[in-house]
Amino acid sequence: MVRRFALGALGGVTLALLCGCAPAPAAPKPDAPAAHSTGISTAASNAPAAATPKGACDKPAAHPIPPQRFDETAQQLAHATGCFIETDLSRTESVPVNAVTGAMSIRQALEVALKGTPLEIVSQTPNRITVR
């Protein structure tokens, strides 16, 4: 049986919640010079990362969320923005997560909630975060 949550409405074993969380990995700059055929890269290893595209997961919000089960925290975060949190509820719903307090993006709030738990963010885009 598959459950889906969207803006807090119940569905199946997959949880897709709308919320907003910490920056996704930076994409390369489109105007950055390409590596030459000699195999020498023009990018320095300590060069600053390209700006991360901002999406629904990066919208700031205030979070007074107590320590509770993951599905409850994810549902509360879902009401803040249009960022989707996707997970398999049969494996993640009852995992206890940390409290989240303060003003931060949904992405950052989810990272705080998951720190030190068996759950982790396995992929993210500007508008979607997958947790396993």
Query: What are the residue boundaries of the structural domains of the chain, listed by start?
Result: 1-24+52-132
Which neighbouring-strand residues pair with 15? Answer: 87
Lowest model confidence (mean pLDDT) among 39-43, 60-64, 128-132: 39-43
- Tell me if 52 sits within 8 A of 26, measured CB to CB: yes
The predicted model gives 3-14 an average pLDDT of: 40
The reported pLDDT for the residue numbered 123 is 97
| Range list of H helices, the chain | 70-78, 89-92, 106-114
| Residue 98 confidence (pLDDT) above 50 | yes
Alpha-carbon 58 to chain mean position: 9
Which neighbouring-strand residues pair with 96? Answer: 69
The reported pLDDT for the residue numbered 78 is 74
The reported pLDDT for the residue numbered 51 is 52
Q: In what order do the strands lie in the sheet with 128-131?
A: 14-19, 83-88, 128-131, 121-125
